[in-house]
Amino acid sequence: MHISPVLWQFLVKWLNASALFPREASTIAPYADALYFFLLLITVVGLTLVGTLIFGFAIRYRKEKHPVAIQVEGSTLLEATWTIIPLALFLICFVWGALLYFRIYNPPTNSMNIYVVGKQWMWKAEHEGGQHEINALHVPVGKPVQLTMISQDVFHSFSVPDFRIKREVIPGRYSTVWFQATTPGSYHIFCTQYCGTNHSQMIGEVTAMTPDDYQKWLQASTSGMSLAQNGERLFASMGCNACHTGAAAARGPNLAGVYGSKLQLTNGSEVLVNDAYLRDAILNPSEHVTAGYAPIMPTYQGQVSEDGLIDLVEYIKGLQSNYRIQQTLVTTESDQAAPTTPAGVKP
């Protein structure tokens, strides 16, 4: 991705080499930097202009030359000029910034998803195939990667300066950020929200790899169970399938295909079912009761960890119309394998 003339490349390389500036390692980075340099440029021009005028006027209109002050009545032309030019500059910054904001915060539809759980004081990444890593994140280059992030305790903020991304990681709510790495290598992860004693140690490393290497890494780090498979187990061991059997007469609605659909609620509103809604439906079921059903679903607040919730969400997301068959298979299988550890806690 190049928006950059030779001069630009030269400037960035030079700043980078003199340790003044992070590398540009994502597709967004040159765009973020372009706005940054533009702001820097108009600031320097403004500073020079104002500074020169102050010094120039101080010398030119000093007391020895002009002992008596003259009343100046103003100039419409001058005032209009110093109003319209800055206004235009600020509007350019606003529109440019807004366009960049949408580009940065709207992940492309073909992006792959990785979950990130932040807690005092570490980052945990969970890949869809069930690979877990701590203070590390492996990603392929040339592919948009979306991070769905949540905190287990206080506010954190996930930041990779080389990718020019940064987003708050909040307890109780999923937030997302995305990037597309351009160059294989390793890049620093920071927590950029002061989060307690060891905040400064809440760091890690993104390893951007060629797609082939990434596949190899996935294979080598597999735990044998994908997130959805873990979720399927939990779904059975926590008794969700007692009500969500998939049958029409069941006490709970069929969850197959519910992800991405619009649900009609008893209070008359309509909601889009996304990751955040699924998570909330499990923790606060009485807050949004699906039309046509009694509010009998118990809350699972405090009974399932963020990891467990991610597994359940991944499982429900993947449920297609063959849900019922899948479900019967799972029930028998995992009744024997019911974990003795609290739900969602992985060894």
Whole-angstrom distance, CA of residue 318 vs CA of residue 310: 12
**Residue closest to 111 by CA, chosen among 134, 128, 89:** 128
Sheet holding 132-134, edge to edge: 132-134, 122-127, 112-119, 145-151, 175-179
Whole-angstrom distance, CA of residue 136 vs CA of residue 128: 15
Q: Considering CB distances under 5 to 8 angstroms, the limit depending on partner class, which of ligand HEC, Cu ion, none binds residue 181? A: none
Instruction: Tell the smallest beta-carbon distance from residue 309 to ligand HEC (Å).
Output: 9
Return the biggest CA–CA distance within the chain.
100
Kind of pairing, strands 156-160 and 145-151?
unpaired
Residue with smaller CB distance to ligand HEC, 184 or 253:
253
Stretch near Cu ion under the rule CB under 5 A, chosen from 27-35, 178-186, 190-198, 302-310: 190-198
Point out which residues pair with 176 in neighbouring strands. Answer: 148
Residue with smaller CB distance to ligand HEC, 21 or 293:
293
Instruction: Tell the smallest beta-carbon distance from residue 310 to Cu ion (Å).
Output: 19
Instruction: Tell the smallest beta-carbon distance from residue 256 to Cu ion (Å).
Output: 37
CB 266 within 8 A of CB 290: yes
The four Cα atoms 161, 167, 169, 170 give a dihedral, to 10 degrees, of 160
Q: Considering CB distances under 5 to 8 angstroms, the limit depending on partner class, which of Cu ion, ligand HEC, none binds residue 300? A: ligand HEC
Stretch near Cu ion under the rule CB under 5 A, chosen from 7-15, 37-45, 141-149, 192-200: 192-200
Using CB under 5 A as the binding rule, whether residue 156 contacts Cu ion is answered as yes
Count, residues near Cu ion per rule CB under 5 A: 4
Residue with smaller CB distance to ligand HEC, 113 or 290:
290
Residue with smaller CB distance to ligand HEC, 113 or 245:
245
Q: Considering CB distances under 5 to 8 angstroms, the limit depending on partner class, which of ligand HEC, Cu ion, none binds residue 184? A: none
CB 116 within 8 A of CB 147: yes
Q: Considering CB distances under 5 to 8 angstroms, the limit depending on partner class, which of ligand HEC, Cu ion, none binds residue 240? A: ligand HEC
Q: Considering CB distances under 5 to 8 angstroms, the limit depending on partner class, which of Cu ion, ligand HEC, none binds residue 191? A: Cu ion
User: Rule CB under 6 A: which residues touch ligand HEC?
Assistant: 235, 238-240, 242-244, 251-253, 255, 258, 263, 278, 281-282, 285, 289-290, 293-297, 300, 312, 316
Instruction: Tell the smallest beta-carbon distance from residue 299 to ligand HEC (Å).
Output: 10
**Residue closest to 252 by CA, chosen among 282, 286, 297, 304:** 297
Residue with smaller CB distance to Cu ion, 206 or 282:
206
Whole-angstrom distance, CA of residue 324 vs CA of residue 302: 28
Query: How far is C-alpha 192 from the chain's CA centre?
Result: 13
Q: Is 94 helix (H, G, I), strand (E, B) or coil?
A: helix
Point out which residues pair with 124 in neighbouring strands. Answer: 117, 134
Whole-angstrom distance, CA of residue 15 vs CA of residue 36: 13
Binder to Cu ion among 25, 141, 195, 309 (CB under 5 A)?
Answer: 195
Binder to Cu ion among 29, 149, 150, 191 (CB under 5 A)?
Answer: 191
Q: How many CB atoms lie within 10 A of CB 67?
A: 7
Using CB under 5 A as the binding rule, whether residue 149 contacts Cu ion is answered as no
Instruction: Tell the smallest beta-carbon distance from residue 156 to Cu ion (Å).
Output: 3
What residues line the site for Cu ion (CB under 5 A)? Answer: 156, 191, 195, 202
